[in-house]
A and B are shown apart, each in its own frame.
Chain A
Amino acid sequence: MSFRDTLNSGKFVVTAEIGPPKGTDIKEMLHHMEILRGKIDAANITDNQSAVMRISSIAVCKLALENGLEPILQMTCRDRNRIGLQADLLGAYVLGIKNVLCMTGDHVSAGDHKQAKPVYDVESVQLLKIVDGLNNGKDMSGNELKGPTDYFQGAVVTPESIPIEPQLMKFEKKVKAGAKFFQTQAIYDIEKFKTFMAHARQFPVKIMAGIVVLKSAGMANFMNNFVPGIKVPQNLIDEIKAAGKEKALDTGLNIAARHIRQLKDEKICDGVHIMAIGMEDKVPTIMERAGLL
C-alpha cells in the first residue's frame, strides 16, 4: 500500500530519514535502505540538508524506489527558482516519486558553501501552492501541462516554536495551500505536543511527530542551546545522565521508543517521523521496542 493510502487508512505510520552522502560512494546508504525496507512506510530523502551540498534528493529518491523503499522527496526553496522547482517536480514525478515535502530550507549560511547566492524565489507556502497547481494540470503561470502530477504533498511545522502564534498562522497557511500531511520538528514533551495537536486537529491533515534519538546528555544540551524549536526537558537529560556513558545511547533509544508507543497508544497523532541522523541502522531497534515490528 502506498504511503498516502496507508496514512489515509488510519494506520499509525512510520517514516525515517535518509540523508544522501557527499560523494559518489553510496554503499552505506544502500545498506541503510536495505535495513529499512519493509519496515517503514516511507523514507524522507533530504535535500542538501543543513545547506551542505550532497547527492541530489531526486537521484536518491530514484535509488530508494529501485531498492524497495517509497520515497518522500524533500524539496527546499534555497537552491532553485520557480522554474527549477517546477521542472524538478515534473521530473521527479515521471521517475515514479509520488510524495513531496515542501520546505523553505536552512539558510546557505548554515552550510558548506557560504558564498552561494540563496535563492528563495518562492517559499514553503508558495511551493505547496505550486504542487497543488501541478496536480491540477497547471504550472505556476497558469499554463496548461501536458499531463498533470498526482503528488501527495506535505509540509513541516515546529510545535515548540517560541513564540508559537506566528508558527500556527503559517501552519494554517500551509493547510490552505494544500498540505495533506505534516512532519514536525523533534518533539520531546508529549504533554506540550498534545496542546499543539488539539489545535492541529481542527484541520483535515495528518500529523506525524518528529522523533530525534538522544545519543547523549551533551547532545540534548546542545540542541536546547543551538537548535531552534527543540526543547529537551530536564527529566529526560537526567534519565540519560543516570544511565551512564555506556548506556546513554541505549537509554536514548528507549526514550524514543517509549514516546512513539505513547503517541500511538493514546492516538495523539497519525504517525512518527524518525530522524536518526547517521544511525539509520538503529531505526528497526526503536520500532521493535515501540512494539511496531
Chain B
Amino acid sequence: MIATKKREFKDLMENIKDYKSFFLVGCSECASLCGTGGEPELAELKEALEKEGKTVTGTFRAKTGCQVLGTKVELKPFKEQLDKTDVVIVMSCGAGTQAAVEIFPEKPVYQSNDTMFLANMTRFQIFDERCSLCGECILDETGGICPVTACPKGLLNGPCGGTNEGKCEVSPDIQCCWVRIYERLNKINRLDDMKKTREAKDWSKSQKPRALIARTKEEKKK
C-alpha cells in the first residue's frame, strides 16, 4: 500500500486560507488503513475546518481514489455539493490528489497528506518500506530481501564497511540488510547467490514518468 502522513493542520490552513468552502475526498484503500483518509479522518477534518469558520459542503470516501474513471462515476451523486465548493481537499496519496485534479479541471485541489512510500504494514498502522518500485526486481537473487530499498546506499554486492554487528552505519535502528540477506541465504542454502557479482543497475527501467498498459487487445475490445 501507499503510506501517507497527515500534514500539520496549520500548514493545510495556510495553503487554503484564501478559500471559504470545501469538499473532502477520502479513500477506502491505503489512506483508510493509514488513518489519514478514512471516515474518522473525514469527520475530524470537517469539524476542524468548521471550527475555523470554513464551510464543508460534503465529504466522500472514494472506493479507490487513484482510479480516475471509477472515482469520477462515484462522485456523480455529489454534484450539488461539488458545485457549491471552492476547493476540493484530497485526503489520500499524491495519486489520489492528481486523480482529483483530472476530475475537477476547474477547481483548486489541495491535499491534507504527504505521500511517503510503498509500505508494508507490520502492525496496526506501523509501516516500513521494502520495495522502491525500481522496475527491475532482484529479489530472486537476494533471498527475497530488497537491498535497493533496505540499504540506504542501495548496494548490490554486499555490505559496506559501515556495517556494524548487524546494524547500519546510517542508524542503529536500521538492520544491515546485507547481513540479513547473508543470514537468510545461508539458512535456505543459497549462499552462492551472494557470491555473484551484480552489474550496475539499469536506471533507465525507472525513468520517470512511467506508464504501463497491462490490458490485452482482447480486453480492449470489450
Contact = CB atoms under 8 A, between A and B. Distances in A.
Interface of A: 78, 82, 103-104, 106-107, 109-110, 118, 120-126, 129, 140, 156-158, 161-163, 165-167, 169-170, 172-173, 176-177, 185, 228-229
Contacts of A129: 197
A123 B153 contact: yes
A121 B203 contact: yes
A129 B197 CA distance: 10
Nearest to A171: B158
Given A107-B170, A163-B182, A118 B152 contact: yes
B164 A229 contact: yes
Given A126-B200, A163-B179, A165-B182, A120 B153 contact: yes
B153 A169 contact: no
Interface in B142-168: 152-166
Contacts of A170: 157-159
Contact of B200 (A104, A121, A229): A121
A156 B203 CA distance: 26
A173 B163 contact: no
Nearest to B154: A120
Contact of A104 (B155, B179, B197, B203): B155
B129 interface: no
Contacts of B199: 126
Given A107-B152, A107-B169, A228-B162, A126 B182 contact: no
B110 interface: no
B200 A228 contact: no
B197 A177 contact: yes
Contacts, number: 93
B153 A118 contact: yes
Interface residues of B, number: 28
Contact of A107 (B153, B164, B182, B195): B153
Contact of B163 (A121, A125, A161): A161
B157 A106 contact: no
Contacts of A106: 162, 169
27 contacts: A82-B200, A103-B161, A104-B161, A106-B169, A107-B152, A107-B153, A121-B200, A121-B201, A122-B200, A123-B154, A123-B156, A126-B200, A129-B197, A157-B161, A163-B179, A165-B182, A166-B159, A166-B163, A166-B194, A167-B161, A169-B158, A169-B182, A170-B157, A170-B158, A173-B157, A228-B169, A229-B162
